[in-house]
Amino acid sequence: MSIEVGSKLQGKVTGITNFGAFVELPGGTTGLVHISEVADNYVKDINDHLKVGDEVQVKVINVEKDGKIGLSIKKASDTYREPQPRSAAPSQRPNNQQRSNQRPPRGKREEFRPKENFEQKMARFLKDSEDRLSSLKRNTESKRGGRGASRK
């Protein structure tokens, strides 16, 4: 019997590990149900959901070149629905709604600056740098006792 992706099969749990369960399929082949594919909710301990010898219905989700078979119990259930994308791209939003909470550019967020050319950026940088340097000099001189104070 050939195993095809998307087919639903009946299998028997032959082994349980901390990362999933091995299921023997018809024809004697074995596939793995990863712990994330056991149930719709979070599975902390797979032993709470499966026991060795349990008969389970599985869906084949992938077959690799080396013969490994990926299985899913939750996708085999009739109540499973494929998850929907979280949000559409801005051009696909209803009524072409755009986000109203756009963030201002990085840096000083309270001060929005229009596009600057290189010379304007350099002039602003030099001014800020000189201001910081003069402030630093003032603070360090006052800690040393002022200008020209000599120790004798």
Phi first, then psi: what are they for 69, rounded to 5°? -115, 125
For the entire predicted model, the pTM comes to: 0.54
Phi first, then psi: what are they for 20, rounded to 5°? 165, -165
CATH architecture of structural domain 8-76: Beta Barrel (2.40)
Torsion on CA atoms 36, 40, 45, 46, rounded to nearest 10 = -70
Per-domain boundaries in the chain: 8-76, 113-144
- Going from the first residue of the chain to its last (152 residues), give the mean pLDDT of each consecutive group of 10, the final group possibly shorter: 85 94 92 92 91 93 92 86 68 55 57 77 92 87 63 54
pLDDT given at position 77: 83
